[in-house]
C-alpha cells in the first residue's frame, strides 16, 4: 500500500427516511461530482421537526478525497 494525501470536505446529507439514507445520499452525490472519494466520518446527527414528528434527518459528514499523486 502506498502513502496517500487527502483533502477533507464537510457536507450535510438530508433524508425524510432515515439517517442511513441521508448518509448514502450525501456520499452518492459527492462521488458523482468528485474523484477519489475514499472515506467518511459522521460528525453530527440532527433533525428537523414538523408537526411534532421527524420531518428530515440531517447528517454532517467529513468526506476524504485522495489527491492524485504528482507525476
SS3 per residue for 16-70: CCCHHHHHHHHHHHHHHHCCCEEEEEEEEEEEEEECCEEEEEEEEEEEEEECCCC
Q: Which domains does the chain have, with CATH numbers?
A: 6-66 (3.30.1660.10)
How high is the pLDDT of residue 70?
73
How high is the pLDDT of residue 2?
67
Tell me the C-alpha to C-alpha distance, in Å, between residue 52 and each of 8, 47, 48, 55, 56.
35, 12, 10, 9, 12
Question: From first to last of its 71 residues, what are the pLDDT tens digits of the chain?
Answer: 468 888 999 999 999 999 999 999 999 999 999 999 999 999 999 999 999 999 999 999 999 999 987 76
How high is the pLDDT of residue 1?
46
Amino acid at each position: 500500500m502506498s502513502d496517500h494525501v487527502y483533502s477533507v470536505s464537510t457536507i450535510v446529507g438530508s433524508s425524510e427516511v432515515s439517517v442511513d439514507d441521508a448518509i448514502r445520499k450525501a456520499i452518492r452525490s459527492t462521488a458523482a461530482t468528485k474523484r477519489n472519494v475514499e472515506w467518511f466520518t459522521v460528525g453530527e446527527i440532527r433533525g428537523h421537526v414538523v408537526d411534532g414528528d421527524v420531518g428530515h434527518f440531517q447528517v454532517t459528514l467529513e468526506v476524504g478525497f485522495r489527491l492524485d499523486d504528482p507525476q
